[in-house]
Amino acid sequence: MKAGLHTLQPWAWTLKRIGGQFGAGTESYFSLLRFLLLLNLLASILKACMTLLPTWLEGTPPGPPGPNASSPCGFYDPNPQGLVAFPTHLFNLLSGEGFLEWSPLFYGFYPPRPHLAVTYLCSVFVIGLLDLLLILHRSVSGLKQTLLAESGVLTSFSHRVFTAWDFGLCGDAHVRLRQRSILYELQVELEEAVVRRQAAVRTLGQQARVWSVRILLNLLVIALLGAAFYGVYWATGATVDLQEMPLVQEMPLLRLGVDYLPSIFISGVNFLLPPVFKLIAPLEGYTRSRQIVFILLRTVFLRLASLLVLLFSLWNQITCGGKAEAEECKTCGYNYKELPCWETRLGQEMYKLLLFDLLTGLAVMLLIQFPRKLLCGLCPGALGRVVGTQEFQVPDEVLGLIYAQTVVWVGSFFCPLLPLLNTAKFLLLFYLKKFTLFSTCSPASRTFRASTVNFFFPLVLLLGLAISAVPVLYSLFL
């Protein structure tokens, strides 16, 4: 019965084929992608029923608020005036400004009606609660695999040899897939056993040398993370100043680049630093699974903390650095001149992060992965194999998913249609990654347990969900 229900899940055969050819870790990535896709689809349906539908049922939403003589803080009209050229529409589509700024995509569009305010808030809390329960359920099921993997029960090779086979398999294709899956599992266990034996016979001097190297490498990691966070903070603060320069205002393409400056910095450090972490991890003398855990922890901290730095920098702009008596914030309680609707501005930043993440993913596929595969075919011999051989990097890919989902959670309160956009993005990503996997990637030379994906990554998802609550609670109670 359980196996029958499993086959009814979307892409069940595709995931089984991926697991047999590329290992359980790669299969777990696509399983997590399917899980997040369903989460976003559920959130999109709830947003449509609890936010969009009540907005239109209570009447046509009013336009932007006009100037008010009694208060200088109410006027806000982002709609462009006069004839707008096509390139400007395209830039507005990419930046979330212009015609999109006053649309159902962003917070500022929704009128302050009592019933709508209740349903708007309820949608946020209901979606957050459902996501929490579903992730906890997935974490508990992954915890069982992790405890078995670490207890030594699964490291018994006789367990793999005598009990891992499924005698209900039918057809040569299913048999070959299961054989490959067991092969990858045994490969992981053998790698772990070799490293543990080496660690057990170290002398005291060797232990001291290993720990000295670990301390120095961790100091290097801290320095790199500090430089990355400062760059994100600087880019967010410099965006407003650069937008006021005459040269930037005269060139729409340059202004679009300035608008995307925080997204470019965040994506840049997320692209450059994880490979450095991979070079550092083997030097620390840990097992393969422990190396992966440290790489993941550092990359998770980089990705999630960069979002927190972005939010902190925006908070500084909105509140004038927390100084309510500052000249810019004295009249309206926040920096109204630069950010007339700060909720929409925050939603725009998350919208740009989502778009830029998708565009960079497409660029990597088209400009790096496929040319490397072509080079492998054009250059026969060892050179072609070295340059063109690519492996599917499960930790990087999974953390990319978690980062993208955290961006959506952070921005969904200020950009209600962000889950819908992310649903379309993840659906496209599933087929693109599947095509890239089978057309350009080879099976990993070194694999790791699927329990890492099934337990550790849902915990990181829970951390991302907790981070997303910070701006929501701030906007509600402070």
Q: What is the mean pLDDT of residues 378-400?
A: 71
User: What residues have CB less than 8 Å from 376, skipping those under 6 apart?
Assistant: 384, 385, 387, 388, 389
Q: What is the reported pLDDT for 167?
A: 59
Model pTM? 0.84
Q: What is the reported pLDDT for 71?
A: 62
Q: Of residues 189 and 101, which shows the higher confidence score?
A: 101
Q: Of residues 253 and 383, which shows the higher confidence score?
A: 253
Can you state the percent helix, strand and coil of the chain, rounding each to 5? 75, 0, 25
Tokens of 41: 């689809």
Q: pLDDT-derived band of residue 431, with 50, 70 and 90 as boundaries?
A: very high
Residue 293 has pLDDT above 60, yes or no: yes
Q: Which of 28-32, 188-192, 208-212, 377-381 has the lowest mean pLDDT?
A: 377-381
Of 361, 221, 415, 229, the closest CA to residue 308 belongs to 229
Is 279 inside a domain boundary?
yes
Is 307 inside a domain boundary?
yes
CA–CA separation, 46 vs 50, rounded Å? Answer: 6
Domain ranges, residue 315: 9-59+109-477
Distances (CA, A) of 472 to 24, 97, 107, 292, 301: 37, 22, 12, 33, 21
CA–CA separation, 178 vs 477, rounded Å? Answer: 54
Is 214 inside a domain boundary?
yes
Tokens of 131: 């996501």
Is 95 inside a domain boundary?
no
Strand partners, 71: 68
CA–CA separation, 38 vs 43, rounded Å? Answer: 9
Residue 373 has pLDDT above 80, yes or no: no
- 156 neighbors 185 (Cβ within 8 angstroms): no
Q: pLDDT-derived band of residue 45, with 50, 70 and 90 as boundaries?
A: very high
Q: What is the reported pLDDT for 426?
A: 95
Element holding 68 (H helix, E strand): none
Is 30 inside a domain boundary?
yes
CA–CA separation, 26 vs 437, rounded Å? Answer: 9
Q: What is the reported pLDDT for 48?
A: 92
CA–CA separation, 85 vs 323, rounded Å? Answer: 40
Q: What is the reported pLDDT for 425?
A: 95
Q: What is the reported pLDDT for 427?
A: 94
| pLDDT 10s digits, 145-185 | 555 555 554 445 666 666 666 555 566 766 776 677 677 76
Please state the domain count of the chain. Answer: 1
Question: Does residue 17 sit in helix, strand or coil?
Answer: helix
**Torsional sign, CA 44, 260, 464, 426:** positive
Q: What is the reported pLDDT for 169?
A: 55
CA–CA separation, 459 vs 43, rounded Å? Answer: 20
Of 403, 188, 221, the closest CA to residue 303 belongs to 403
Q: Of residues 173 and 320, which shows the higher confidence score?
A: 320
Is 72 inside a domain boundary?
no
| pLDDT 10s digits, 52-83 | 888 888 777 777 776 664 566 766 777 766 66
Is 86 inside a domain boundary?
no
| pLDDT 10s digits, 406-428 | 999 999 999 999 999 999 999 99
Residue 370 has pLDDT above 50, yes or no: yes
- 221 neighbors 277 (Cβ within 8 angstroms): yes
Is 85 inside a domain boundary?
no
Per-position DSSP letters for 216-262, written without gaps between them: HHHHHHHHHHHHHHHHHHHHHHHHHHHHTSHHHHH-HHHHHHHHTHH
- 342 neighbors 320 (Cβ within 8 angstroms): no
Q: What is the reported pLDDT for 470?
A: 86
User: What residues have CB less than 8 Å from 391, skipping those under 6 apart?
Assistant: 441, 442, 443, 444, 445
